[in-house]
Structure 1
Amino acid sequence: MSAVAASAPARRSRRSPWWRWWPLAIVALFVVAAVFAPLLAPYDPNFQNLIARLKPPGTVSRGYQYWLGSDELGRDLLSRIIYGSRVSLLVAFASVILSGVVGTTLGMIAGYRRGWVEIVVMRIVDVFLSIPAVLLAIITVAVLGPSLVNVIMVLALTRWPRYARVAYSQTLSIATMPYVRLATLMGASSLRVLFRHILPNIIGAVSVVATLEFGLMVLFEAGLSFLGLGVQPPTASWGAMLSTGRNYVATAWWVATLPGFCLFVLVLAVNLTGDAVRDRLDPRFR
């Protein structure tokens, strides 16, 4: 009796307490800033005021208040950071959704159909996973050309095998369940079995992968923009701002430091949110 009583608090303590979800509030704050960027940004992110080049935070020049300073062309850094969050979040959301849909669907099909379908799909997954994702992304973007759409397509192309692996392993265990076999014997189509009986039972594991992949997509987009293979100027991008700001670190630290800090905070908040989602959905912690 005492052992049972002692184990109950231990199980409850493993659940994610409400205060562990504060990173989600930070992510939501970045999302709100990206969606309402035209309303929140004090100035046009591409407006140049050459007289106010590389001014420190808090500077007032020609009637313009630069709360976070200005860059090498006199553009307001706060406005560019707010608009830059649009690019990072748009690329992350789009690539995660696209890669998640493709990878989950192929993984479920491979785990349910088995046979030659399983062999073909999983060998393709092994080939993609054997190539470094960053290298594959750089090569593909260099061939297709840098643009927002190409960055999204490339990131989805390089990351879908992660979802396929998880969906495949989860489907293998669920496909042998009695209710799945019963649905098959009653004449349910493969499409209905996959999306009516299997998908709802693996969506938790896939969601955990998606939350963790979201932070990686933000980093990959920033890395490609830093190398000049992402979103092209004058569109504001945190990676491009870091690339430009590294030339002025000694004289204008804010140009590179502030976008880098925003990138750090967003990725950290997303990763902590992913940990909380994992703890919440993991049946061992229930």
Structure 2
Amino acid sequence: MTEIAAPRRASIAPRRIPWPIVPFAIMLAVLVAMTVFAPYVAPLDPNQQNLLARLKPPGHVARGVTYLLGSDELGRDVLSRVIYGARVSLSVAFASVVLSGIFGSLLGMVAAFYRGWIEIIIMRIVDIVLSIPAILLAIITVAVVGPSLYTVVIVLAFTRWPRYARVAYGQTLSVANMPYVRLSRFMGAGWPRLLGRHILPNIAGPLIVVATLEFGLMVLFEAGLSFLGLGVQPPTSSWGAMLSVGRNYVATAWWIATFPGLALFLLVLSINLIGDYTRDRLDPRSR
């Protein structure tokens, strides 16, 4: 008799993290740790000036102090300013992503849930904001209101919320007519319960993907505004401001612009790669 082969059991092993992502994940974790423990990691006060040690190359020792990444035009330690600049960039990016994500997702869900004139008003506002270049809108708003840390956060959140609204709107349209949502509405559930308990958990995946990809963009926007003098103001350390100063000393003190530029590049690259991996993990079509 022919022996019948036993059916193969479906593999339920979790998908492994691809090894090229691991170094960038570690790099991002190190940068986040530096921002949290900046007062303990930075060798010097980022605003401490020493004019006798100005524009010294990496590894220079002056008065018993070693400038591992050199010093800037005022004799401040570049390494300390890079560490504190990471705190500013990550704080601004995190706050702006949270604010824009909450505001945009809520408006997108409300527009798709209620439809009618509410949908028309919200989505037309989304189209208007999206028609204006984000960086141009940010520059104009900061120039009018005045540059500061809180202004940058609010401006970046205001310019990027439409992307979340678009995603939340499309995802809510596909979920709002599901049987369990219709049944909950029939049973008398209010819109806060429907949106918060039944719709939001089912559309959170795409919104998380958008947030991870937007995070790196917020870092670049903050650096761009600081580079133009419209972001975080001196003497607060910022990567964009360091790049703006360093461009004047590229020929004589290359380290002032090189190290914050390299840190900015590695941070955005790590965030984008992790965002791509998160998108692949949360997208059912890629499984």
Give the match for residue 17 of structure 1: 17
- Rounded Cα–Cα distance in structure 1 between residues aligned with 2:26 and 2:97: 20
Q: Which residue of 1 aligns with 2:256?
A: 255
TM-score by length of 2: 0.94
Residue 66 of structure 1 pairs with residue 67 of structure 2: yes
Match of 2:3 in 1: none
Q: Is the 8 A contact 1:54 1:69 kept in 2?
A: yes
Which secondary structure does the structure 1 equivalent of 2:93 belong to? helix
Aligned to 1:31: 32
In 1, Cα distance between the equivalents of 2:229 and 2:89? 15
Could you report, residue by residue, the CA deviation over 1:71-128 in whole angstroms, capped at 9, with x for unpaired residues? 0000000000000001000000000000000000000000111111100000000000
Contact 1:16 1:276 in 2 (8 A): no
TM alignment of 1:170-249, pairs within 5 A: 170-249=171-250
1:284 to partner: Cα distance? 1.2
Distance 1:17 1:84 in 2: 30
1:163 corresponding residue in structure 2: 164
Indicate the RMSD between aligned Cα atoms, in angstroms: 1.8
Q: How does 1:87-102 map to 2 (within 5 A)?
A: 87-102=88-103
User: Structure 1: any 5+ residue segments left out of the alignment?
Assistant: none
Q: Distance in 2 between matches of 1:27 and 1:103?
A: 26
Distance in 2, matches of 1:96 and 1:187, equals 34
Q: Using the TM superposition, give the Cα deviation of residue 19 of structure 1 relative to its aligned residue in structure 2, in angstroms.
A: 2.1
Task: Report the Cα distance in structure 1 between the residues aligned to 2:19 and 2:97, rounded to whole angstroms.
Answer: 26
2:277 is aligned with 1:273:
no
Question: What is the aligned partner in structure 2 of residue 103 from structure 1?
Answer: 104
Mean Cα deviation higher: 228-237 or 25-34 = 25-34
- Decide which structure has greater helix share: 1
Is the Cα–Cα contact under 8 Å of residues 279 and 285 in structure 1 kept in the other structure?
yes
Is the aligned partner of 1:151 residue 2:152?
yes
Q: 1:212 to 1:16 in 2, by over 3 A?
A: farther
3-state secondary structure, aligned to 1:65:
strand
Asked if 1:137 is matched to 2:149, the reply is no
Amino acid at match of 1:128: V
Measure how far apart 1:28 and its partner are.
1.5
The runs of 4+ residues in structure 1 deviating greater than 6 Å are: none
How far apart in 1 are the matches of 2:63 and 2:109?
60
Of 144-153 and 24-33, more deviation after overlay is shown by: 24-33
- What is the rounded CA distance, in whole Å, between the counterparts of 2:20 and 2:238 in structure 1? 30
What is the distance in 2 between the residues matched to 1:82 and 1:234? 14
Q: Is the 8 A contact 1:20 1:276 kept in 2?
A: no
What is the percent sequence identity of the aligned residues?
70
Write the distance in 1 (CA, Å) between the matches of 2:222 and 2:68.
26
SS of the equivalent of 1:270 reads helix
